[in-house]
């Protein structure tokens, strides 16, 4: 069974540009979660998508947005990039409504803003 | 929201030694997971353990939900065990998201 896959692995952008990160959940998982791991700030919850809808978001500005597609894959968009957006972005998936097996994370996308 | 505290923040061991990592949480939980973050950043799921005890090879974990703590035991440590260990929980009304502790940085020296 394939795990959670994320692309690209690395991304370098210039301040002010937009970044798009992608995530494919484990087959059968309908919930996708995005987390940011910035240096010194730990793992922070960004967004939760389930059945194509945004269910909740963390304390991040509106320039962090995303969507979930009918096949449950997800995209995270970061607009008007700032230097402090440089971080590892991790995606996780789970079976919605059940927590019997927990969350599985992908390998992450390392975003560098210069 | 729910608070998660891990201890110790740093731990240095010689290969072959045993260790215990602790995770305290501030509210009832319906999910507790231990992760190992490898040098490339991936979070490897070690245990899903909202309560009880589980073992997987040299690793084991115990969660005492009524007392709001969990322990991760690493026996006969190896250099490949080095990395950051995170405890993450969901509960306290926020069932949809995991709240992470700050992690324990484990260094195992040969």
CB contact under 8 A, B42 and A56: no
pLDDT at A98: 52
Mean pLDDT of B42-56: 94
- pLDDT tens figures, A29-53: 989 999 999 988 889 999 999 889 9
Taking the CA of residue A110 and the nearest CA in chain B, the distance in Å comes to 9
Chain A interface disruption, residue of B1, B30, B34, B96, most A CBs within 10 A: B96
Chain B positions in Cβ-Cβ contact with residue A56 (cut-off 8 Å)? 96-97
Contacts of residue A100, defined as CB under 8 A and 6 or more positions apart, other chains included, come to B48
CB contact under 8 A, A102 and B48: yes
CA torsion A91-A97-A100-A105 (nearest 10°) is 0
Mean pLDDT of A63-90: 97
Residue appearing with tokens 């929201």 = B1
To 5 degrees, how large is the angle CA A100–CA B89–CA A109? Answer: 90
- Report cis status (omega within 30 of 0) of the bond before A8: yes
- Burial code (b: 16+ CB inside 10 Å, e: under 16) for B71-102 equals bbebeebeeebbbbbbbbbbbbeeebbbbbbb
pLDDT at A110: 96
Name the residue with higher pLDDT: B30 or A84: A84
pLDDT at B92: 60
Pick from B49, B19, B95, B42: nearest CA to A105: B42
pLDDT at B91: 80
């Amino acid at each position: 069974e394939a795990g959670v896959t994320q692309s690209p692995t690395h991304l370098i952008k210039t301040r002010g540009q937009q970044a798009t990160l992608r995530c494919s959940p484990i087959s059968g998982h309908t919930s996708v979660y995005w987390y940011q791991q910035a240096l010194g700030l730990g793992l922070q919850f960004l967004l939760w998508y389930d059945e194509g809808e945004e269910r909740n978001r963390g304390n991040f500005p509106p320039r962090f947005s995303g969507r979930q597609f009918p096949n449950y894959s997800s995209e995270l968009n970061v607009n008007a990039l700032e230097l402090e957006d440089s971080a590892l972005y991790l995606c996780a998936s789970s079976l919605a409504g059940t927590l019997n097996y927990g969350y599985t994370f992908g390998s992450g996308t390392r975003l560098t803003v210069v | 929201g729910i608070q998660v505290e891990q201890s110790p923040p740093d731990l240095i061991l010689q290969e072959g030694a045993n260790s215990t990592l602790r995770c305290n949480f501030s509210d009832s939980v319906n999910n507790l997971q231990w992760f190992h973050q490898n040098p490339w950043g991936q979070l490897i799921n070690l245990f899903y353990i909202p309560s009880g005890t589980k073992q997987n090879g040299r690793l084991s974990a115990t969660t005492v939900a009524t007392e709001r703590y969990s322990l991760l035991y690493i026996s006969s440590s190896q250099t490949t065990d080095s990395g950051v260990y995170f405890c993450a929980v969901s509960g306290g009304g926020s069932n949809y998201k995991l709240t992470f502790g700050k992690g324990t940085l484990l260094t195992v020296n040969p």
